[in-house]
Amino acid sequence: MKKVIVTLVLVLVSVSLVSAASIEKQEAYIKQLESKLHSAKERGDKAKIEQIKPLLQDAKDTLESEKKRKAEDEKDLKDAIDSLDLKDAPEGEILPSVPFDEPAAKEDGAAEKTVLPERERHYYEGEGAGIFGKAYISYVNDLMENGQPNQFDISKVFIDYRNDLDGDVSVRFSTDIKRQTYLTSAATSESNINVYLKYAYFTLNDVYLEDYLPIGVPYSMNIRIGQSPTHWIGFMEKFWNFRYVSKTLTDQYSLFPTADLGIAALGALDFSDIEIPGLEELNYHFTFMNGNGYMLPEDNPEKNLALRLDTQPVYRDEYNNLTVGVGFYARDLSITGGENSDLFKALNVMGALQFESPSDGVIFAEYARATNQEGMSFGGQYGVGENFALFGRLDNYDMDRSTSGVDYTKSIYGIAYNWGENVKLALDYQNEQKNGADSVKIIGVHSQVAW
């Protein structure tokens, strides 16, 4: 009897170890595919996305099958041991104990942890260790009389390191290398390339707070601590896919910084059980930060607070949907109970329609209104052929609503070409007018290389 018991235990241990190794290998493969899918989405490479998605789904199905088989094998062997008559075992002998990955008993009254559907968990940043990068390289011809000479330029280079750590923690460190021009006198200026630390934060992924912070619906939450993206600009760049050509409206006119130092919480609220028409989920991004951006240190006791909410009231799939969002931003907010005499507030509203018939495209509109500023932006792109796209944008921005003389209108038109998976090229025309008079008029070739 003793030999039978020990043999069964050893078999159980072997099955458990082999299954665990197979599961670990499959999980590593899924992480690789998710990393490739993330990169393809950032590049807008639809063909690559369609190639990876079925592979990723097959890998996930295989993982679930492996886990199910492991659980069934362990249960069968455990039942076999339980069915043996252990009365013949020598008195006082301690048999090896083997963990069966059984869930811990839930305390009375404890809430079940909600696992949101895959599409609702898209804020998770885990992609495995890797160094990523992006560079904007251009050739521009200034069409203004007495304008700048035609020139090649490198406007930005990003070096981005990301890694997953133990305990569902991920980290990100990014440099922003860019050209900046400084006035050296009333008539002369000097241009230098400077290196800044843009992102330096860690993320606590899948933080579970529903037992302590119930809000009536299931929700997911990731918490970022450090210097991280702010709530709005990066979100709008998902619809304006030509950051290498020009900044978005609120970035162009510096309504708020692209990154800042503080804390952020982001995730999604699940309304699927409530059955509210057009509101299956609501994504959120909340930030509490210094307010001076990533290039300057804090210089006052006030802080910045921001919140973005967005949802997709119409969703057929990833390429056919309607997104609407609203953002609120408060700068120089007193947290010590003092007067908010310098409080600056901003409201943003947007809508974007993505479609793939009769061809791939997106149309978006953005409205921004601040304490003394106001602006609108309309833009989009439309696929032409396999790798070409026509794109355009029209902005209007009033830098000071209390006075005249600071009204800007900007128009951008161009055609883009995807040269493989990593390189984007654009031939574009840009014109900016201040109070009706041309201040910028250029034609250029802009490019982005990502790795």
Q: Which residues pair with 267 in a beta bridge?
A: 221, 284
Residue 132 has a pLDDT of 94
Q: What is the dihedral of CA 37, 41, 42, 45, to 10 degrees?
A: 110
Residue 100 has a pLDDT of 39
More confident residue, 234 or 68: 234
Which residue is listed with tokens 């260790």? Answer: 129
Residue 120 has a pLDDT of 32
- Under 8 Å CB-to-CB from 317, ≥6 apart: which residues? none
- Tell me where in the chain the CATH 2.40.160.10 domain(s) lie: 128-450
End-to-end CA distance of the chain: 61
Kindly report the average pLDDT of the chain as a whole number. 83
Q: In this structure, what DSSP letter does residue 257 have?
A: -
Q: Which residues pair with 2 in a beta bridge?
A: none
CA atoms within 13 A on the CB side of 36: 17
Model pLDDT for residues 83-132, shown as the tens digit of each residue: 655 444 444 444 444 443 444 444 444 444 333 333 333 333 445 689 99
Residue 217 binned pLDDT confidence (cut-offs 50, 70, 90): confident
Between helix 2-43 and helix 46-83 the angle, nearest 10°, is 170
Residue 185 binned pLDDT confidence (cut-offs 50, 70, 90): low
What percent of the chain has a predicted confidence (pLDDT) above 90?
A: 53
Q: Which residues pair with 303 in a beta bridge?
A: 333
pLDDT greater than 80 at residue 258: yes
Backbone dihedral angles phi then psi of residue 419, each to the nearest 5 degrees: -95, 85
Kindly state the tokens that stand for 154.
């490198």
Residue 104 has a pLDDT of 43
**Cβ neighbourhood burial of 416 (10 Å; 0-12, 13-18, 19+):** buried
Model pLDDT for residues 124-149, shown as the tens digit of each residue: 344 568 999 999 999 999 999 888 88
Measured at the CA of 430, the angle between CA 427 and CA 433, to 5 degrees, comes to: 175
Residue 43 binned pLDDT confidence (cut-offs 50, 70, 90): low
Residue 330 has a pLDDT of 94
Residue 210 has a pLDDT of 79
Q: How far apart are CA 106 and CA 439, in angstroms?
A: 67
Q: Comparing C-alpha atoms, which of 397, 125, 382 is closest to residue 242?
A: 382
Within 10 A of 273 (CB to CB), how many other CB atoms are there?
Answer: 9
CA atoms within 13 A on the CB side of 231: 33
Residue 122 has a pLDDT of 33
Residue 90 has a pLDDT of 46
pLDDT greater than 60 at residue 162: yes
Residue 81 has a pLDDT of 59
Q: How far apart are CA 373 and CA 401, in angstroms?
A: 6
Residue 328 binned pLDDT confidence (cut-offs 50, 70, 90): very high
Q: How far apart are CA 124 and CA 132, in angstroms?
A: 17
Helix (H) or strand (E) holding 159: strand 151-165
Residue 116 has a pLDDT of 35
Model pLDDT for residues 416-449, shown as the tens digit of each residue: 999 999 999 999 999 999 999 999 999 999 999 9
Q: How far apart are CA 420 and CA 124, in angstroms?
A: 27
Measured at the CA of 201, the angle between CA 367 and CA 306, to 5 degrees, comes to: 30
More confident residue, 433 or 15: 433
> Any idea which fold 2-88 has?
Methane Monooxygenase Hydroxylase; Chain G, domain 1 (1.20.58)
Residue 313 has a pLDDT of 96
Residue 231 has a pLDDT of 98
Residue 125 has a pLDDT of 43
Kindly state the tokens that stand for 143.
């069409």
Model pLDDT for residues 289-306, shown as the tens digit of each residue: 998 899 888 888 889 999
Residue 404 binned pLDDT confidence (cut-offs 50, 70, 90): confident
- Tell me where in the chain the CATH 1.20.58 domain(s) lie: 2-88
Residue 274 has a pLDDT of 84
Q: How far apart are CA 438 and CA 266, in angstroms?
A: 41
Residue 145 has a pLDDT of 86
Question: Among 2.70.170.10, 3.40.50.1000, 2.40.160.10, 3.50.50.60, what is the CATH number of 128-450?
Answer: 2.40.160.10
CB distance 241 to 137 below 8 Å:
no
Residue 38 has a pLDDT of 63
Q: How far apart are CA 227 and CA 173, in angstroms?
A: 9
pLDDT greater than 70 at residue 187: no
Q: How far apart are CA 302 and CA 414, in angstroms?
A: 42
Instruction: Indicate the SS3 state at residue 202.
Output: strand
3-state helix, strand, coil in the chain (%, to 5): 20, 45, 35
More confident residue, 341 or 58: 58
Kindly state the tokens that stand for 83.
């069915």
Q: How far apart are CA 79 and CA 259, in angstroms?
A: 56
- Under 8 Å CB-to-CB from 430, ≥6 apart: which residues? 245, 246, 410, 411, 412, 440, 441, 442, 443, 444
Q: Comparing C-alpha atoms, which of 250, 259, 327 is closest to residue 289?
A: 259
Q: What is the mean pLDDT of residues 168-172?
A: 95
pLDDT greater than 50 at residue 233: yes
Q: What is the mean pLDDT of residues 3-7?
A: 52
